[in-house]
Amino acid sequence: MFKKVLISEDLGSISNGIVSLLESLHIANYKQVQYCDDAYLKIKKANLDEQPFDLLITDLSFKADHRQQQYPSGEKLIKVLKLEYPALKIVAYSVEDRPQKVRTVMLDSKADAYVCKGRNGLRELDEAITAVLNGQNYLSPQISNALRETLTAEIEDYDIEIMQLLALGQSQEEISRNFKEKNITPSSLSAIEKKIVKLKNQFNAKNSVQLISIAKDLGLI
Amino acid sequence: MKNIPFSFLFFLILFLTANPFALQGQIHRDTIYKYYNSIVHPNDDVTISQGINFYTRKKENDTQLKDTLSIIQDLRLIAIGQFNLGNINDSEIAVVESLTLIDDYSKKDALIEGRKALYNQLGKIYGETKNYNKAIEVYNWSLNLSENKSDSITLINNKATIYIELGEYQKAAKQLELAQKKGANDTNSLQYAMVLDNLGFVQSKLGKPDALINLKKAKSIREIQNNLEGAYSSNKHLALYYFDRNNKTQATEYAYKAYGIANTLNSITFLQDALSLFAIMNEDPKIVQFKQITDSIAKEKQLAENKNAFIKYNVANEKKKTAEALLEKEKEKNQKLVFLILGIIISLTSIFIYFALRLRHKKEKIMQVHNTESRISKKVHDEVANDVYHLMAKIQGNLTENEELLDDLEKIYNKTRDISKENSAIEIQENFSGQLNDLLLSYQTEKTKIATRNISKIEWNTISEIKKTTIYRVLQELMTNMKKHSNAAVVVLSFQQNNKKINIDYTDNGNGCEIKNKNGLLNAENRIKALNGTIIFESKPNKGFKAKISL
């Protein structure tokens, strides 16, 4: 288990939640800070004293006050720490659940885990700590899709062409032949078959007839 | 003074071409006639100077009346008067001024006669100032305008006299023979006699046999018509003819005749001219030499005068220019003042408008802030406060278990988070299409599929930040609306770029509705209107929902 943990969080109540979690995990050596800059200094000092922290749990957004902060947000802090102390494990703990944000923190700043604050936040944080300890990354379930190649289904001209031909009553074989004549690729029967399955899925259609009906309703063909 | 007889013929042209009473309303006819004659037929009653004075004043008067035709006429008479007084330069100035007026006159074609006469006058001026080349050039201009035969005969004759002055007798003879041919149908006219007389003189200089016949014929015509000035010229030329041929008796006889006519004419110029004949024909070489020296001194004097006149003219011009420059300066000063005042007025107005606009803008901004505030407060009240109140009521009634309470609390928490998300500042990122994708994706569920069309083909970096923010917000609102009400299975968003314009078509296959109360979408509409874009909604119950955005 982790020996020395730093909590960077400006809201006391949340901090307390984390502390109670740590205590239940029998981690007694923890420190709390309310600013990213303080977190950075603490970690640096601990390293110089050769008693380094091995886990940081940090919020991403902090209330700005009169103090000029070198690291105004968690992402920046994480990025710097990961460059200087690669051994330090970092868990981001934030209310933010936009995939774009999750991607920035995980891919750009290179945090080890991202946990969303919420009703199940503490339980997920527990899971995250275990995962990170085992050298794995962790994401809260509601953002588990964030890191995947996540594009909405973009409808290509190719898809429109297939649906138009289907609407004209052509069979998959006929479409394949048609595409070969027009030099449209891919034109193989299997590729067209796959595409139609994908389109049905995309449009929540049970069969080709419903697919065409929906596409017509939406004005695509 | 060989050309004295010719000058009179010029006046003849004037008579032919210009009616002195035309266009002269206010001044009494007799007065005009008196001064006209003082210039054209100088006599003792009124001097030429008085005539010039009269026409100078008349010209000023006509200038005020803007009567261009009269001004041209006045200038012409001033030119003739000044020429006769020997003020050749002033005469030239008057002619040039008159010609300039004709050039600027809208109906200048009607003034060909006047122009011809002025060219003739100019030719005489140049002849008098011994500027022979220019004189010939001017006569040629005049000839180009001449359709009237008698005019052109006079002009050719005048041109020939210039050649005589230059000593180019061949050229003179050629011109005069041309004039003779033109006048052949009226062989008794004084004009014809003049041509014949000059031709005879030139021929005598060239040693042609016809000389004597022509001279005598001219003389007889003039004597029949009792033309004294002409007869003087004829006798003088005959005297010179015989003198050139060493026939002293005949020469002296004609010289005496000329002298007699000069006496009858009682004119000093004619007398001087007649007496100089005797000087030329005198046997004493000293007197001949005296005559030659007198002539050459007179010539030198004339050339010096020309030069002097030229300098004087230049000085006068210079003065005039300085005066004009001063006037221009004054004018410029005034103009500058006008511009300055105009500039001040414009800048004051623009400052005023600027402040007025700023005030309005400020008001609008404050209004917008108020609107946003009241919208958010309404949302907090409707969505959060009500739920919290509801929850409180539940707890008070002790009706809830812990788990249920937590569920309710989570719902409230999520609602507040949504409100915060909707209103938090969005950071437009480099990869805006990805950002939009994430937004749309967050609304995708198993039941509701979201598809896009051509979203990656938009060149987002050419679109302004504010437009992108608006697009983000509007799509967010559309999607929220969709999630709440539509129950749609599929949503399609088609993007299209037209230069700086973005068109987005939103279509879903959900419940649709009657578009009456656009409460939830009013914000989207306002946002788009603020950027001069349009948004059109289209929906019917069970027919899905459509929105066309153009921004």
DSSP codes joined into one string, A153-191: EEEPHHHHHHHHHHHTT--HHHHHHHHHHTT-S---HHH
How confident is the model over B67-81, as a mean pLDDT? 87
Q: What confidence category does residue B14 fall into, taking pLDDT thresholds of 50, 70 and 90?
A: very low
Per-residue model confidence as pLDDT tens digits over A157-192? 899 999 999 999 999 999 999 999 988 888 899 999
- In the structure, what pLDDT confidence band is assigned to residue B349 with cuts at 50, 70 and 90? very high
Q: In chain B, what are the domains?
A: 1-166 (1.25.40.10), 428-550 (3.30.565.10)
CA angle B499, B503, B509 (to 5 degrees): 160
Is residue A80 scored above 90 in pLDDT? Answer: yes
Q: What's chain A's length in residues?
A: 221
Does the pLDDT of residue A68 top 60, yes or no? Answer: yes
Considering only alpha carbons, which residue of chain B is nearest residue A159?
B453
Region B401-412 average pLDDT: 85
In this prediction, residues A119-126 reach a mean pLDDT of 90
- Mean pLDDT across B329-352: 94
Q: What is the pLDDT of residues B483-542, one digit of tens each?
A: 888 889 999 999 999 888 999 999 998 888 877 666 668 788 888 888 889 999 888 888
Which of A154, A160, A216 to probe the B interface (max B CBs under 10 A)?
A154
Q: Chain A contacts of B447, Cβ < 8 Å?
A: 204
Q: Is B408 an 8 Å CB contact of chain A? A: no
Q: What is the pLDDT of residue B34?
A: 79
- Cα–Cα distances (Å) from A14 to A54, A208, B58, in that order, read 21, 52, 110
Residue B28: predicted pLDDT: 64
How does pLDDT run across B240-271, given as a tens digit for each residue? 899 888 888 888 889 899 999 888 887 787 88
Predicted local confidence at residue A129, as pLDDT: 94
Mean pLDDT (whole number) for B414-420: 84
Between A213 and A148, residue with greater pLDDT: A213
pLDDT tens profile B180-194 = 888 887 878 888 888
Per-residue pLDDT, B6? 45
Q: How far is A88 from chain B (nearest CA, A)?
A: 29
Specify the pairing of strand A89-94 against strand B449-453.
Answer: unpaired
Q: Do B476 and B443 touch, CB atoms closer than 8 A?
A: no
Q: B507–A152: do the CB atoms touch at under 8 Å?
A: no
Phi, psi at residue B395, to the nearest 5°? -65, -40
Percent pLDDT > 90 in chain B is: 12
Chain A contact present for B523, CB below 8 A: no
Q: Is the pLDDT of residue B395 over 60?
A: yes
Mutate to test the interface with A, among B450, B475, B490 (most CBs of A within 10 A): B490
CB B507 to CB A219 under 8 A? yes
Q: What is the DSSP string of B268-323?
A: HHHHHHHHHHHHHH-S-HHHHHHHHHHHHHHHHHHHHHHHHHHHHHHHHHHHHHHH
Question: What pLDDT, on the 0 to 100 scale, is given for residue B187?
Answer: 79
Q: How many C-beta atoms surround the C-beta of residue B407 within 10 A?
A: 13
Q: Is the dihedral of CA B46, B50, B52, B53 positive or negative?
A: negative
Give the pLDDT band (50/70/90) at residue B310. low
CA of B514 vs chain A CAs: smallest distance (Å): 18
In sequence order, what are the beta bridge partners of B546? B507, B538
Q: Would you call A119 an interface residue with chain B, using a CB distance cutoff of 8 Å?
A: yes
**Mean pLDDT, rounded, of chain B:** 83
pTM attached to this predicted model = 0.50
pLDDT at B16: 41
In the numeric block, the tokens 């005489």 are attached to B124
pLDDT at B145: 80
Residue B354: both structure tokens together:
């600027």
Residue A154 forms contact with B (CB below 8 Å) = yes
Mean pLDDT of B162-175: 88
Percentage of residues in chain B having pLDDT higher than 70: 91
Angstrom distance (rounded) from CA B142 to CA B153: 12
**Nearest chain B Cα distance for residue A197, angstroms:** 15
Phi, psi of B534 (to 5 degrees): -130, 150
Handedness of CA B285, B287, B289, B292 (dihedral sign): negative
pLDDT of B308 > 80? The answer is: no
**In the prediction, which pLDDT does B1 show?**
39
Chain B contact present for A155, CB below 8 A: yes
Cα A135 → chain centroid: 18
- CA A54 to chain B, closest CA, distance in angstroms equals 32
Confidence grade of residue B18 (pLDDT, cut at 50, 70, 90):
very low
Helices then strands, counting H and E runs in chain A, come out as 9, 7
The confidence score (pLDDT) of residue B91 equals 85
Give the residue among A168, A118, A172, A165 at the shortest CA–CA distance from A143. A118
Tokens for B159? Answer: 């041109």
The least confident of B16-25, B273-282, B360-369 is B16-25
Query: Is any Cβ of chain A less than 8 angstroms from the Cβ of B250?
Result: no
* Domains of chain A, CATH where assigned: 5-143 (3.40.50.2300), 157-217 (1.10.10)
The whole-angstrom separation of Cα B354 and Cα B342 is 18
Q: Is B450 on the interface with A (CB under 8 A)?
A: yes
- Best of B420, B431, B449 to disrupt the A interface by mutation (most A CBs within 10 Å)? B449
- pLDDT interval class at A151 (50, 70, 90): low
What pLDDT does A39 receive? 93
pLDDT exceeds 90 at position B345: yes
Chain A residue numbers touching B441 (CB-CB < 8 A): 99, 145, 150, 152
Are A156 and A51 a contacting pair, CB within 8 Å?
A: no
Instruction: List chain B residues with CB under 8 Å of A99.
Output: 438, 441-442
**Among B residues 471-490, those touching chain A with beta carbons less than 8 Å apart:** 489-490
Residue B40 — pLDDT band, cuts 50, 70, 90?
A: confident
**CB distance from A98 to chain B under 8 Å?**
yes
Confidence at residue B15, expressed as pLDDT on a 0 to 100 scale? 41
**pLDDT attached to residue B143:** 84
Report how far residue B238's alpha carbon sits from residue B249's, in angstroms, rounded to the nearest whole number.
12
Which tens digits make up the pLDDT trace of B449-493? Answer: 899 998 888 898 888 888 998 899 899 889 988 888 888 999 999
B438 close to A (CB below 8 A): yes
Spatial separation of the C-alpha atoms in residues B357 and B363, rounded to whole Å: 10
